Amino acid sequence: MSGLTGNYVTPYALTMQATIQQIGYLSSIPSFANMLVQLAAPYLSERAGSRKSFILPAVLMQAVMWLPILAIPFLFHTNQVWWLIAFVTLSTAAGSLTGPPWSAMMADLVPMELRGRYLGFRNRINSLVALIFSFVTGGLLQLLTGNTRLAFAIVCGGAFAARLISFYFLSLMNEPHPVVPRTAIREGIPQIARGLFSSNMGHFVFFSIFLNLAVNIGSPFFSAYVLRELKISYISYQTINSASAVMTLLAVAWWGKRADRAGSVKILRITAYMIPFVPMMWLVSPSVYWMSFVQLYSGFAWAGFNICAGLFVFDASPQDNRARYIALYGALASIGTTLGSVIGGNLGPHLPRIAGSYFLSLFLLSGISRLIVVLFLLRRISEVRDVQPISTPDVLFSGLRNSVLRLRNAFGRDSDK
């Protein structure tokens, strides 16, 4: 589902003549809905009696929502973009309901010492499947250039079918027994929120809010820049995006192993300092080759950052109340996404243009904002796990050094013979 549609909701909106403000709302309104439902999800899943019995109906609803998204060009002749925003928001909300209970269930299933490797392996599989099916979408759109309504109908129908298949496999998962009785008294989300200002988890939450804000000043508009302003083909567009997906596929398990050894915060610090330069590099050249290289760099940085953000939240939240901590983190982080998209969509046309493009001005503003957030807020986050201190060169190059030593030893033994 994610592979077929992840990079193509904005191009779908562009076929409906979406404005830059509407593209911003296409990101911000679903993000705002995500914030609201994440806050409600822990309470609703507890009332459902089990996390799994709550997750499955939400997944089914998310699958069904792809059918009205498919039908928009055929049934709605006016305000198509707003209908798209509405249905995407409902789909996003249904998917977001599953986030906190599913994450809490996974944290109970996977031992702490294996989480980095396991999630790295799992994310590698996800990335491979998403990459393959994103090429399917790109190929369909290129093949049916004169009939994009049919192409997007096939894509949305495929997303519906794919989510139904994932519904089936989720139904086969075992749910661990609750760590505490259902009648136990847990902190409510308002109580947790009041303690965030002075906690390690709180420092990470505020860092995530402002980083998401900075990222979404520019990122939602990249598709519009390359498709509408540069007028590149769908295949070239998919080539650029696939560079990030390929690097994520290669790097995520690599980062996961290092997170198990060095701790999640160490990897967060390394990758967070790489992230601000991604949108700045988009200004260098409109070449497909250059932008593909930038996306390789982006995929490497975000692969490490995203997996370790999830690991940190797992580690920093108490086991008996993890779903509510995860929900609060997801909801508050979505505030940054919402504000960033609104700011970018409304501010972009009024910025001084770089090389005739206000998209490039947004990208520069996004990069500078990311750098400010990382410089001032990242230092306040501390490691939760008990890990041995390790230098950044050791994290990045220890495997290479060990390989060189093995080769040297092998050649040494051969020369002795």
Q: DSSP labels for 287-338?
A: -HHHHHHHHHHHHHHHHHHHHHHHHHHHHHS-GGGHHHHHHHHHHHHHHHHH
Q: Are 116 and 256 in contact (CB under 8 A)?
A: yes
Cα separation, 147 vs 137, whole angstroms: 13
CATH (residue range 2-175+189-396): 1.20.1250.20
Nearest 5°: the CA angle 268, 333, 166 is: 90
Question: How far apart are alpha carbons 372 and 275 in whole angstroms?
Answer: 12
Dihedral through CA 6, CA 8, CA 214, CA 327, nearest 10? -30
Amino acid at 211: L
pTM of the model: 0.82
Q: Write out pLDDT tens, residues 354-407.
A: 999 999 999 999 999 999 999 999 999 999 888 888 888 888 887 655 655 554
Instruction: Report helix, strand and coil shares of the chain as percent, to nearest 5.
Output: 80, 0, 20
CA 76 to chain centre: 30
Provide the residue ranges of all domains of the chain, joining segments of one domain with +: 2-175+189-396
Cα-Cα end-to-end distance for the chain: 57
- pLDDT (tens, 9 = 90+) of the chain, 417 residues, equals 999 998 899 999 999 999 999 999 999 999 999 888 988 888 888 788 788 889 999 999 999 999 999 999 999 989 999 999 999 999 999 998 898 888 888 888 888 788 888 888 888 898 889 989 999 999 999 999 889 999 999 999 999 999 999 999 999 988 887 555 444 556 777 888 887 778 899 999 999 999 999 999 999 999 999 999 999 998 899 999 999 989 988 898 899 889 988 999 999 999 999 999 999 999 999 999 999 999 999 999 999 999 999 889 988 888 778 778 888 888 899 999 999 999 999 999 999 999 999 999 999 999 999 999 999 999 999 998 888 888 888 888 876 556 555 546 655 555 455
Residues 6 or more apart in contact with residue 11 via CB below 8 angstroms = 141, 223, 227, 234, 237
> pLDDT tens across 143-172, in order?
998 899 999 999 999 999 999 999 999 999
Which distant-in-sequence residues (6+ apart) come within 8 Å of 3 by Cβ? 129, 130, 131, 132, 133, 134, 136, 137
Q: Among 35, 81, 37, 27, which Cα is nearest to 62's?
A: 37
